[in-house]
Chain A
């Protein structure tokens, strides 16, 4: 069919002689099967970390923020570092499902579902920190402009922390409906295959009675496209607003106009790395190598390389401008970062973020799954240090030398962070066992244009091919 013409230069995105039914079976297999021992081991570890973190949160809230390593000079450290880190990770999901949809990138089909799940779960982790880092978190609802008995006392719309409330809640809720709407046809597939009454009931409930009518699909595609068009500016604005927490301040090292795009680039950088980490494991354990192919990993590595280079460019710009500015406070901030007491954090960040993605220029390395996996973890360590360096090194030494101090975390700081990692994996592991991890309806729609079987058929009969 002419409608399925594709340039012969493109590699297949779906490997093997797959039919539509094979796609269904492969996607449904992890959901219909039983969890193995390895899953239970990893799940228990994640759950223990989560419960430990929960204990740390309860301890913090009931005893006071003083149990953290913060002091009068460094009022933000691990809490906001982790918040920005998690929000950043969450951005890749929307990038993959929305931006790649707008650019009609077919390789997104196999990875968008898991990337969106990752978005939702990491934004949930991020959302914990703005609440628990409050001194009086039980008054958190005062951040909302609700009419009240204090003469109607309102919030102040000048604060980036309030913009954060709007940005994060919009981002989480829009991502959630985008993800769920995309899930309806796949839940319907599981519903129609289910043999156990309980599964049938659950998937009937969550698939909202999706029947796959022509009109439903027409609206579904329009909704996906418009949501992608809305999610793209949303994802850029959310991390921009997060970066405003720093950029609108008067602190040397924070007050920068480069932060909005530079934070967004860093978010894509760390987010894609996290997707790579998760999918390299998932394709193996869920036997989805035919859908999440080496080509997918290579393309994600290329995105990591490009955004890593943008981040590197931003680092150099910051250094140049601080030298060029003639502002001694600004110049000292960068001198302090490179040679001060946190030099190790700065050089950790530089080596992980600037140098490691540059290996991806070498084809052999970016097509190596083991190497990609290692780099994806290195990048996330580097991006954690980026936020730590920006936050802590800018405030521990600023205008008044009499206020200079140091920061070191307590076990509660570390415990809360470990707890969010545990919570993330608890959610992701449960997701991997109960949700269709590949958008099978979307994969089926590219099977004829990008499946290996059909590409071979076309090559065999170039004149009349299906």
Chain B
């Protein structure tokens, strides 16, 4: 089902930020805000929850470390405990210093790549994905706020115009999952 949204376009990030606060102040629901660059404080003003990607990255890093340790323990100590240049390959601890570089690199490899993949999956970004910003100007110098329609659209348009919007229009909201 298509529902109506009101799109207010701003041309200044400070005006947008004030407008977001005003809209939230009168308990209207902001569907989405599209900006051409990160506007600092916007997520707080909109009341977005903090992202957990950093926590995920920490867990991925731990996985990478464990993978590195298990791999080298199996290969160097359990499977072929060879004497290579007099290095003590009796236990993992004996030869630990030589394993540190790979443990370190694999920790970073897992933490970085799995976090980036998580980000792309959560934000649904992939090649050939169709862009969903309703107005191409929002990647240049305009800021677009979508407010859920209350039913009385004329009043909402008037309210949004008062917040400093340079353009307000009523549109059908496509069903988009975020």
Tell whether A and B belong to one assembly. Answer: yes
Interface of A toward B, CB cutoff 8 Å = 1, 3-4, 19-21, 24, 145, 152-158, 160, 162-163, 166-167, 170, 173-174, 177-178, 181, 184-185, 188-189, 191-193, 204-223, 225-227, 230-231, 233-234, 237, 240-241, 244, 440-442, 444-445, 448, 466
Query: Which residues of chain A are within 8 angstroms of B33 by Cβ–Cβ distance?
Result: 213-214
Q: Which chain B residue has the least Cβ–Cβ distance from A440?
A: B37
Least Cβ distance of A442 to chain B in Å?
7
* Cross-interface CB contact of A209 among B87, B98, B132, cutoff 8 Å: B132
Say if the beta carbon of B116 comes within 8 Å of chain A: yes
Tell whether, in the assembled complex, residue A209 and residue B126 are in contact, meaning their CB atoms are under 8 Å apart.
Answer: yes
Q: Which chain A residue has the least Cβ–Cβ distance from B128?
A: A205
Least Cβ distance of A191 to chain B in Å?
7
If A189-B139, A208-B120, A227-B116 touch, whether A441 touches B36 (CB-CB below 8 Å) is yes
If A213-B32, A445-B40 touch, whether A157 touches B99 (CB-CB below 8 Å) is yes
Tell whether, in the assembled complex, residue A244 and residue B101 are in contact, meaning their CB atoms are under 8 Å apart.
Answer: yes
Which of A188, A210, A214 gathers most chain B CB within 10 Å?
A214
Q: Which chain A residue has the least Cβ–Cβ distance from B58?
A: A226
Least Cβ distance of B127 to chain A in Å?
5
Tell whether, in the assembled complex, residue A155 and residue B75 are in contact, meaning their CB atoms are under 8 Å apart.
Answer: yes
CA distance A231 to B109 in the complex (A): 10
Tell whether, in the assembled complex, residue A211 and residue B133 are in contact, meaning their CB atoms are under 8 Å apart.
Answer: yes
* Cross-interface CB contact of A177 among B32, B53, B99, B112, cutoff 8 Å: B112
Tell whether, in the assembled complex, residue B106 and residue A166 are in contact, meaning their CB atoms are under 8 Å apart.
Answer: yes
CA distance A252 to B104 in the complex (A): 28
Tell whether, in the assembled complex, residue A206 and residue B122 are in contact, meaning their CB atoms are under 8 Å apart.
Answer: no
Least Cβ distance of A323 to chain B in Å?
29
Query: Which residues of chain A are within 8 angstroms of B34 by Cβ–Cβ distance?
Result: 211-214
Say if the beta carbon of B155 comes within 8 Å of chain A: no
Tell whether, in the assembled complex, residue B36 and residue A20 are in contact, meaning their CB atoms are under 8 Å apart.
Answer: yes
Tell whether, in the assembled complex, residue B36 and residue A189 are in contact, meaning their CB atoms are under 8 Å apart.
Answer: yes
Q: Which stretch (B21-29, B43-51, B162-170) binds chain A?
A: B43-51
Known: A1-B14, A4-B14, A162-B102. 6 other contacts (CB 8 A): A154-B76, A209-B124, A211-B133, A226-B54, A227-B112, A233-B104
If A166-B102, A223-B115 touch, whether A192 touches B43 (CB-CB below 8 Å) is no
Tell whether, in the assembled complex, residue A24 and residue B178 are in contact, meaning their CB atoms are under 8 Å apart.
Answer: no
**Pairs A-B, 10 closest by C-beta atoms:** A209-B129, A20-B141, A192-B136, A208-B125, A163-B101, A441-B37, A211-B133, A444-B37, A154-B75, A21-B141
If A204-B130, A223-B115, A230-B108 touch, whether A157 touches B141 (CB-CB below 8 Å) is no
Tell whether, in the assembled complex, residue A219 and residue B133 are in contact, meaning their CB atoms are under 8 Å apart.
Answer: no
Tell whether, in the assembled complex, residue A226 and residue B53 are in contact, meaning their CB atoms are under 8 Å apart.
Answer: yes
A interface, over-half SS: helix
Query: Which residues of chain B are within 8 angstroms of A19 by Cβ–Cβ distance?
Result: 141
Query: Which residues of chain A are within 8 angstroms of B38 by Cβ–Cβ distance?
Result: 217-218, 220-221, 441, 445
A–B pairs, 7, beta carbons within 8 Å: A24-B140, A177-B112, A192-B140, A205-B127, A209-B132, A215-B43, A444-B141
If A192-B140, A209-B124, A214-B32 touch, whether A170 touches B131 (CB-CB below 8 Å) is no
Least Cβ distance of A291 to chain B in Å?
15
Q: Which chain B residue has the least Cβ–Cβ distance from A447?
A: B37
* Cross-interface CB contact of A154 among B14, B79, B112, B137, cutoff 8 Å: B79
Tell whether, in the assembled complex, residue B139 and residue A157 are in contact, meaning their CB atoms are under 8 Å apart.
Answer: no
Tell whether, in the assembled complex, residue A166 and residue B101 are in contact, meaning their CB atoms are under 8 Å apart.
Answer: yes
CA distance A4 to B106 in the complex (A): 40
CA distance A154 to B102 in the complex (A): 15
Tell whether, in the assembled complex, residue A219 and residue B122 are in contact, meaning their CB atoms are under 8 Å apart.
Answer: yes
Query: Which residues of chain A are within 8 angstroms of B151 by Cβ–Cβ distance?
Result: none
CA distance A455 to B99 in the complex (A): 53
Tell whether, in the assembled complex, residue A210 and residue B125 are in contact, meaning their CB atoms are under 8 Å apart.
Answer: yes
Q: Which chain B residue has the least Cβ–Cβ distance from A22?
A: B141
Query: Which residues of chain A are within 8 angstroms of B95 by Cβ–Cβ distance?
Result: 158
CA distance A115 to B115 in the complex (A): 23
Q: Which chain B residue has the least Cβ–Cβ distance from A444?
A: B37
Which of A19, A156, A193 gathers most chain B CB within 10 Å?
A156
CB 8 Å contact bits of B80-115 with A (1 = contact, 0 = none) = 101011010000000100110110111011011101
Tell whether, in the assembled complex, residue B111 and residue A189 are in contact, meaning their CB atoms are under 8 Å apart.
Answer: no
Query: Which residues of chain A are within 8 angstroms of B124 by Cβ–Cβ distance?
Result: 209
CA distance A67 to B61 in the complex (A): 44
Least Cβ distance of A290 to chain B in Å?
16
Query: Which residues of chain B are within 8 angstroms of A188 by Cβ–Cβ distance?
Result: 131, 133, 139
Say if the beta carbon of B119 comes within 8 Å of chain A: yes
Tell whether, in the assembled complex, residue B140 and residue A21 are in contact, meaning their CB atoms are under 8 Å apart.
Answer: yes
Query: Which residues of chain A are within 8 angstroms of B106 by Cβ–Cβ distance?
Result: 166, 170
* Cross-interface CB contact of A170 among B109, B133, B138, cutoff 8 Å: B109
Give residues of chain B (1-46) contacting chain A, Cβ–Cβ below 8 Å. 13-14, 32-43, 46
CA distance A211 to B98 in the complex (A): 46
Tell whether, in the assembled complex, residue A174 and residue B75 are in contact, meaning their CB atoms are under 8 Å apart.
Answer: no
Say if the beta carbon of B171 comes within 8 Å of chain A: no
CA distance A189 to B142 in the complex (A): 12
Least Cβ distance of B63 to chain A in Å?
14
Say if the beta carbon of B66 comes within 8 Å of chain A: no
Tell whether, in the assembled complex, residue B32 and residue A466 are in contact, meaning their CB atoms are under 8 Å apart.
Answer: no
CA distance A184 to B130 in the complex (A): 13
Tell whether, in the assembled complex, residue A157 and residue B98 are in contact, meaning their CB atoms are under 8 Å apart.
Answer: yes
CA distance A237 to B138 in the complex (A): 40
Say if the beta carbon of B72 comes within 8 Å of chain A: yes
Say if the beta carbon of B57 comes within 8 Å of chain A: yes
Q: Which chain B residue has the least Cβ–Cβ distance from A231?
A: B112
Least Cβ distance of A17 to chain B in Å?
14
